[in-house]
């Protein structure tokens, strides 16, 4: 037999660059040493803005569903560097454009030939539960049923969903609820900055609400700075927990405007649908609860 042709074996870096999952590598001080193209696409941050910086500085500012920062105390990279074991995490990272992205991540330790831990690698991917639904909407449906600025459901679609939920309640007894959310002091954002910044704030809030809700919930823009979530309801506590998760996540997020971080909060009213209740009355009760949240100091949730 003649000599066999040499096989091409791609480098580890070439393999990482080709992966569809986001990957980054840190040293023991959690300084980023590698950032693959998928991480750029998912986070909006190019590699040259991340490599050399410490992830604990809050580049992605991972938070849990209550808006609590994970970077300083519950970082999976820190844990795996400490014990050498893989660590998994569900979190919300801060996209460069300002909104929150839900991610599932796994951190694993890296070691030298003698077994000494030299750093860690984190692999993460988009964990958006509504991605499949969004992908199924064709262009005509998007134009007819989604808000042009924010990309979430518009008032027309919300009205259809409310009508369907009421029908399911009457026929099958399925419980549902409405969360009525309003951005606090939104006029001040437009007055202090401009309407372009106000639009970015609306987009940031919309994306955060969309990505923190559950499968089967519908998020839409009711009008202006008002948002509606039509949610599957179990116990009142479950719906209130959903509202509080949304409120905390929005409060811990911001839209960047030059050197300024433009942050807002939400006042949220929650109303559980009564048997046979008209949808107009249900929305009115949620709206009144939201106004009560405003009266009580804003940035809070009130149950109707």
Is 281 assigned a catalytic role? no
Q: Choose the catalytic residue: 225, 235, 244, 281.
A: 225
Place of tokens 């369907």: 164
The Cα-based distances of 22 to 34, 88, 103, 187 in angstroms read: 11, 15, 10, 38
What angle do helix axes 195-212 and 236-251 make, rounded to 10 degrees? Answer: 140
Exposure b/e, 124-140, CB count within 10 A at least 16 = b: bebeeebeeeeeeeeee
> Chain-centre distance of CA 274, in angstroms?
30
Residue 295 CB: number of other CB atoms within 10 A?
Answer: 10
- Integer Cα distance of 116 and 76 in angstroms: 18
Number of H-type helices and E-type strands within the chain: 10, 12
Residues involved in catalysis:
225
């Amino acid at each position: 037999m003649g000599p066999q042709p040499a096989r091409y074996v791609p480098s580890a870096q070439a393999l990482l660059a080709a992966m569809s999952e986001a990957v980054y590598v840190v040293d023991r001080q959690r300084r980023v040493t590698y950032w693959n193209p998928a991480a750029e696409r998912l986070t909006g941050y190019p590699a040259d803005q991340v490599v050399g910086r410490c992830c604990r500085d809050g580049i992605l500012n991972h938070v849990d569903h209550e808006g609590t920062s994970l970077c300083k105390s519950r970082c999976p990279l820190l844990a795996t560097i400490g014990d050498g074991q893989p660590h998994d995490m569900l979190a919300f990272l801060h996209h460069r454009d300002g909104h929150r992205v839900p991610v599932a991540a796994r951190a694993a330790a890296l070691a030298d030939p003698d077994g000494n831990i030299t750093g860690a690698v984190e692999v993460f991917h988009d964990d958006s539960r509504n991605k499949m639904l969004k992908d199924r909407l064709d262009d005509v449906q998007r134009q007819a049923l989604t808000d042009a600025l924010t990309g979430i459901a518009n008032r027309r679609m919300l009205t259809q969903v409310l009508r369907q939920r009421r029908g399911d309640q009457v026929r099958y007894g399925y419980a549902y609820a409405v969360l009525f959310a309003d951005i606090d002091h939104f006029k001040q954002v437009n007055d202090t900055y401009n309407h372009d910044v106000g639009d970015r704030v609306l987009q940031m809030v919309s994306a955060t609400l969309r990505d923190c809700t559950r499968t089967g919930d519908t998020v839409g823009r009711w009008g202006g700075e008002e948002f509606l979530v039509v949610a599957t309801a179990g116990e009142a506590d479950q719906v209130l927990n959903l509202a509080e998760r949304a409120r905390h996540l929005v409060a811990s997020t911001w839209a960047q405007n030059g050197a300024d971080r433009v942050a807002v909060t939400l006042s949220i009213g929650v109303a559980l649908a009564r048997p046979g209740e008209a949808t107009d009355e249900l929305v009115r009760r949620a709206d009144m609860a939201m106004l009560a949240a405003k009266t009580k100091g804003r940035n809070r949730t009130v149950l109707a």
